[in-house]
Amino acid sequence: MLTKLEALILGMIQGLTEFLPISSTGHLYLGRNLFGLEEAGLLLDTMLHLGTLIAVFIFYKKEFIKIIKHPLSKVTFLLIIGTIPAVVIGLAFKDYFDEISKTGVTVGWEFLITGIFLWLADSAKNGYKKMEEISYMDAFIIGTFQAAAIFPAISRSGMTIVAALWRKLDRETAAYFSFLLSTPAIAGAVALQSLDLMKGQGEEITLSALLVGIFTSAVFGYLAVKWMVNFLKKHSLKPFAIYVWALGLVVLFFQFTGKF
């Protein structure tokens, strides 16, 4: 049974790693295994993702109010086009990705792959595009990179930020569009997981523990978005690459030695 302390820690992990380019799903998988909660994933993941969804809605509340008032704006269509690749790939290979997520057999390798992309991000120089200059092709390519994050330890925010930088978005706009694009992706994941829960595939977790997890995830998610937007303006993604490489090697070591 999930305790409030475990929910607090997992909420912190989800909130921070959803928007830092180090993979929230991969970290949650490791966290659940650490607490012996391997089988208590679906309901927990759904509620923790709901927390980060709340965080990004609060952080970008002005933008979402504009979208609601002007639903046929260019931003709306950019988000729709950017979300299409993940929807197509996610629905087409849902069972396959669900199985990978349960076993975690590729998690270590996925952390290493994430690190490669983060390290190469600095090869994108002189980004100049602001939000109003993003093309529909930019949105589709960034969304295609987002689709790769269906693998558990491939970072969604990392892949979208890297793709945005390669498409010549300036660093602040790259973070801005990455986090804005996360909302339909996270909302879609929550919706799909909720359908599975309604089919009776959930777990018994106390309401108080869930509320602790949601609240913590939302708070730390908000802080992570704010910090990451400011960080990316002036700093490289290489420190995150080094971190996920180290983590990936540790995971692979424990897997190969049969301790994980």
What are 96's two structure tokens? 């396959």
Residue with tokens 């995830």: 217
Show me where the domains of the chain are located. 4-256
**pLDDT value at residue 200:** 57
**pLDDT value at residue 122:** 82
82 and 136 in contact (C-beta within 8 Å)? no
Residue with tokens 């909130």: 15
**pLDDT value at residue 41:** 60
pTM beyond cutoff 0.85: yes
**Mean pLDDT for back-to-back runs of 10 residues, the chain (260 residues):** 86 93 90 72 77 94 92 94 91 73 81 96 85 96 92 92 95 93 86 67 72 94 95 93 97 85
What span, in angstroms and rounded, lies between the C-alpha atoms of 57 and 59? 6
**pLDDT value at residue 144:** 96
In angstroms, how far is the first alpha carbon of the chain from the final one?
21
What are 141's two structure tokens? 């390519």
> What are the helix (H) ranges across the chain?
4-19, 24-34, 42-59, 61-69, 74-92, 94-103, 107-120, 136-147, 156-166, 171-196, 207-234, 238-256
178: phi then psi, degrees, rounded to nearest 5: -60, -50
Residue 103 burial by Cβ neighbours in a 10 Å radius (0-12, 13-18, 19+): exposed
What span, in angstroms and rounded, lies between the C-alpha atoms of 113 and 116? 5
Instruction: Compute the radius of gyration of the chain from its Cα atoms.
Output: 18
**pLDDT value at residue 79:** 96
Task: Identify which of 224, 192, 193, 222 has the alpha carbon closest to the alpha carbon of residue 57.
Answer: 222
What span, in angstroms and rounded, lies between the C-alpha atoms of 129 and 169? 4
What are 115's two structure tokens? 């690190």
